Copies of this chain bind each other. A is one copy, B any other.
Amino acid sequence: MKLSIVLSTQPASFSALAYRGHWEENIGKIKSLGYDGVELAVRDPKLLDVPSLKSLLTEQSLIVPAIGTGQAFGEEGLSFTHAEVEIRRKAIERVKSHIELACDLGAAIIIGLVRGKRGAGVDADRAEQWLIEALRESASQNKAVKLAIEPINRYETDLINTVVSGLNLVERIQMENIGLLLDTFHMNIEEPSLTASIASSKDRLFHFHIADSNRWYPGAGHTDFRPIVDVLDQIGYRGFLSAEILPFPDPDTAARKTIAYMRTLAT
């Protein structure tokens, strides 16, 4: 079992991040806690000192399994389905710059809230069409970089809430480097059965987020992670389990509790 935890490389308002900012210090801390990797939440790659980041990651032998792009939406309002064409274009160009960084780091790209929400005046079919076009263009830029679409619960977006709708989208696009990221917190709200949904994603499962039912560290809620770890093994998932959790009671305790709990489930 390979474990990682989300680190925001810039300060951000999104609350489900154990670690934000001070990445030089936090990467060392994440390593010392025993994590194998660090998932990076990056608003804009051009704000990052990539050579320093890479040398620190090498020094610490930490892998970057995935790069989150949601801050481009959360902080700047960029999305693949915005009513204005200029904003859609900016969102695509931004994700392409994330893809360059991902290629450099050997990471996958997360398509979370950067896909947007259906706003007033944008109907469902049009939003889906824009989303498909943006994903095709982004995925075509570099076929070695995987794009992982994350089904997100109904309260945060109305575009792709469930694993079924995510798989339908993947099916419609038909590109080898487009698949899914599943997140146990969102699945707890949306999926009739977490294990059945994970099983249905098969080889389209590119990345996996762990958080308990209340978005605290695993073990703090009622999600049963044992059958989840088992079904991930059964479908041959060999990627990371990445903690996207609230920093409660504090970031270090949350990170420590996550790793201690998940290690008890290692197969």
- Chain A residues within CB distance 8 Å of chain B: 155-156, 188-194, 212-214, 220-222
Considering the chains assembled together, what is the distance between the CA atoms of A75 and B200 in angstroms?
40
Q: Which 5 A-B pairs have the closest CB atoms?
A: A155-B155, A192-B221, A193-B222, A190-B214, A192-B220
Are the CB atoms of A214 and B189 closer together than 8 Å?
A: yes
Considering the chains assembled together, what is the distance between the CA atoms of A222 and B220 in angstroms?
18
A195, closest chain B residue (CB): B222
Chain B residues with Cβ below 8 Å from A156 are 155
14 pairs from A and B in contact (CB 8 Å cutoff): A155-B155, A188-B189, A188-B213, A188-B222, A189-B213, A189-B214, A190-B214, A191-B214, A191-B221, A192-B214, A192-B220, A192-B221, A192-B222, A193-B222
Chain B residues with Cβ below 8 Å from A213 are 188-189, 192
Chain B residues with Cβ below 8 Å from A221 are 191-192
Are the CB atoms of A222 and B191 closer together than 8 Å?
A: yes
Considering the chains assembled together, what is the distance between the CA atoms of A214 and B213 in angstroms?
13
Are the CB atoms of B189 and A189 closer together than 8 Å?
A: yes
Chain B residues with Cβ below 8 Å from A189 are 188-189, 213-214
Considering the chains assembled together, what is the distance between the CA atoms of A221 and B162 in angstroms?
13
Additional 8 contacts, C-beta under 8 A, given A155-B156, A188-B222, A191-B222: A188-B188, A188-B189, A189-B214, A190-B214, A192-B220, A192-B221, A192-B222, A194-B222
Chain B residues with Cβ below 8 Å from A190 are 214
Considering the chains assembled together, what is the distance between the CA atoms of A192 and B212 in angstroms?
9
Considering the chains assembled together, what is the distance between the CA atoms of A191 and B222 in angstroms?
8
Considering the chains assembled together, what is the distance between the CA atoms of A221 and B188 in angstroms?
9
Considering the chains assembled together, what is the distance between the CA atoms of A50 and B220 in angstroms?
47
Chain B residues with Cβ below 8 Å from A192 are 212-214, 220-222
